[in-house]
Structure 1
Amino acid sequence: MSGHSKWATIKHKKGALDAKRGKIFTRLIKEITIAARTGGGDPDGNPRLRSAILAAKAENMPADNIKRAVQRGTGEIPGLQYEEISFEGYGPGGVAIIVDATTDNRNRAVSEIRHSFSKHGGNLGEPNSVRFMFSKKGVIAVSKDVADEDTLMGIVLEAGGEDLNDEGDTWEILTEPNSYEAVAQAVRDAKIETVMSEITMVASTYTKLEGAVAAQMLRLLDALDDNDDVQNVYSNLDIDAKQLEEVAG
């Protein structure tokens, strides 16, 4: 696999193989609640909330669920108080990992995430030990079956996108975070279906793993993904798509 955002592609191919809708909804509700708490309940004036609501709608979350999550965030109705924590560390083979958690119990989250790293051949690092390798970007992936390069390049140039990468069976549009919504809307307006569309962390360099070490790394990612406190996991893992499917399957 090649290109700047290969982990975004890996993550979503992996997610397509073992998606758990309940977990997706839980994460989205937490994100909406935090966004409303920190920036207010009006999505027009709160870009983080606006993005979270769009992501929830893309997963077909009922409107009532979205409304209640916003109201919990603004304090209109009671709910758990969440705290955001970020972890950095290394997985098997030296793969850099960032874990974002949203939890109502900090001690539990720290203990469980530390345990996952140590159990699966990784170790937690100090703050900023790996974050310098990543930058926040909008990533919009489109199957090559539904759009050609010229069409997407036109959207990138007109809507303010940054780059268009060939990722094998998909095209991936990269944007700066402040341009993401405009580019994503341009893709929707063109009636182009996306494989993924989100603001994520994109690594500047990648670590290629194979064989048993790659399998161990995927087990670590699974353990982190299965943690109810974990919102997002970012990595600079590069792995052959065939092995990814074999291990995930």
Structure 2
Amino acid sequence: MSGHSKWHNIQAKKGKADAKRGKIFTKLGKEIAIASKMGGSNLDANSKLRDVVAKAKAANMPMDTITRAIKKGAGEMEGVNYESVVYEGYGPAGTAVIVNALTDNKNRTAANVRHAFTKNGGNMGSTGCVSFMFQEKGQIVIEKTDDKDEDELMMMALDAGAEDFAAEDEVFVVTTTPEDFGTVREALESNGLEFLEAEVKMIPDTYTAIDEETVVKFEKMIDALEDDEDVQDVYHNAEFPEGWEE
């Protein structure tokens, strides 16, 4: 089966992950706390919390940090109340961008996101201006190794309810509906598989090619957005030039 996840394209900035690990853990902690607050701290009874914890584990977040975030969300430890908000807009060359945030001050977050767009050749749009170009999908990314048989892994994923399976240069990408994500992830986990990424995200239907000059502006905008402590996730449909590396 074929897919067009362009995982490495979308993850072009992943090399910066180590430098931003502290911020990544802070953002994941917020997400865990929200899931715990909404559905309780019992992992067995809270599928959303299980999914977020799996995402945190894929990012190598320590288990004690995960546990603290769960307790904060459940009210067992002092925490902050966060509200979820989504912003949409356009980056350089008309690229489509979606920004998910968790904030305790929507005015501050909106101003910061708008500034990140406008300062770097983009503009924040109205709700719905680009989201129609994306689909919400579960995505599980597994590193290719010699001990993994592609056909066997594909059948395992499809039997568990996956929508698609793609073999890319260095990874396998399993795509699911949001509803089936948890079931597929748990089935693969039960077979001893570990993930480079496991989360429900916005995947673009089509991509907008950008040249090297535009990439520089585009990455400055994405950096500004991701550096904001209120921003959880940034999704886009930019297609980087062939062979582009930071």
Please say whether Structure 1 and Structure 2 have the same fold, judged by a TM-score greater than 0.5.
Answer: yes
Match in the other structure for 1:93: 93
TM-superposed deviation, 1:214 = 1.9
Identity of aligned residues (%): 43
Match in the other structure for 1:119: 119
Tell me: CA distance 1:183–1:241, structure 2 relative to 1, closer, same or farther (3 Å): farther
Match in the other structure for 2:9: 10
TM-superposed deviation, 1:193 = 4.2
TM-superposed deviation, 1:241 = 5.3
1:177 aligns with 2:178: yes
2:228 is paired with a residue of what secondary structure?
A: coil
1:226 aligns with 2:227: yes
- For residues 211 and 167 of structure 2, what CA distance do their matches in structure 1 show? 22
Tell me: CA distance 1:63–1:143, structure 2 relative to 1, closer, same or farther (3 Å): closer
- For residues 217 and 104 of structure 2, what CA distance do their matches in structure 1 show? 29
TM-superposed deviation, 1:18 = 4.2
1:43 is paired with a residue of what secondary structure?
A: coil
Tell me: CA distance 1:191–1:167, structure 2 relative to 1, closer, same or farther (3 Å): same
- For residues 210 and 124 of structure 1, what CA distance do their matches in structure 2 show? 22
RMSD of aligned C-alpha atoms? 2.1
Residues 158-189 of structure 1 deviation map (CA, whole Å, 9 limit, x = unaligned): 11111112433332111112222232233334
TM-superposed deviation, 1:59 = 3.4
Instruction: Give the partner amino acid of 2:189.
Output: R
Match in the other structure for 1:203: 204
- For residues 154 and 56 of structure 2, what CA distance do their matches in structure 1 show? 27
Residues 141-174 of structure 1 deviation map (CA, whole Å, 9 limit, x = unaligned): 2334443431222112211111112433332111
Instruction: Give the partner amino acid of 1:134.
Output: F
**What residue ranges of structure 2 are gaps of 5+ in the alignment?**
none
TM-superposed deviation, 1:3 = 4.4
Instruction: Give the partner amino acid of 2:100.
Output: D
- For residues 197 and 62 of structure 1, what CA distance do their matches in structure 2 show? 16
1:53 is paired with a residue of what secondary structure?
A: helix
Tell me: CA distance 1:56–1:171, structure 2 relative to 1, closer, same or farther (3 Å): closer
Instruction: Give the partner amino acid of 2:28.
Output: L
Contact 2:90 2:123 in 1 (8 A): yes
- For residues 104 and 83 of structure 2, what CA distance do their matches in structure 1 show? 6
Contact 1:29 1:66 in 2 (8 A): yes
Runs of 4+ in 1 over 6 A off after TM superposition: none
Contact 1:4 1:203 in 2 (8 A): no
TM-superposed deviation, 1:96 = 0.6
Tell me: CA distance 1:241–1:188, structure 2 relative to 1, closer, same or farther (3 Å): farther
- Count, aligned residues: 243
- For residues 197 and 13 of structure 1, what CA distance do their matches in structure 2 show? 17
- For residues 41 and 144 of structure 2, what CA distance do their matches in structure 1 show? 38
TM-superposed deviation, 1:13 = 4.1
- For residues 120 and 23 of structure 2, what CA distance do their matches in structure 1 show? 22
Contact 2:59 2:197 in 1 (8 A): no
1:88 is paired with a residue of what secondary structure?
A: strand
Match in the other structure for 2:189: 188
- For residues 34 and 193 of structure 1, what CA distance do their matches in structure 2 show? 25
Range with greater deviation from structure 2 (56-65 or 229-238): 56-65
Residues 199-224 of structure 1 deviation map (CA, whole Å, 9 limit, x = unaligned): 11111111111120122112111111
Match in the other structure for 2:76: 76
Contact 2:157 2:188 in 1 (8 A): no
Tell me: CA distance 1:225–1:11, structure 2 relative to 1, closer, same or farther (3 Å): farther
Relative to the length of structure 2, the TM-score reads 0.89
Which aligned pairs between 1:37-56 and structure 2 lie closer than 5 A? Answer: 37-56=37-56
- For residues 17 and 32 of structure 2, what CA distance do their matches in structure 1 show? 23
2:114 is paired with a residue of what secondary structure?
A: helix
Range with greater deviation from structure 2 (65-74 or 157-166): 65-74
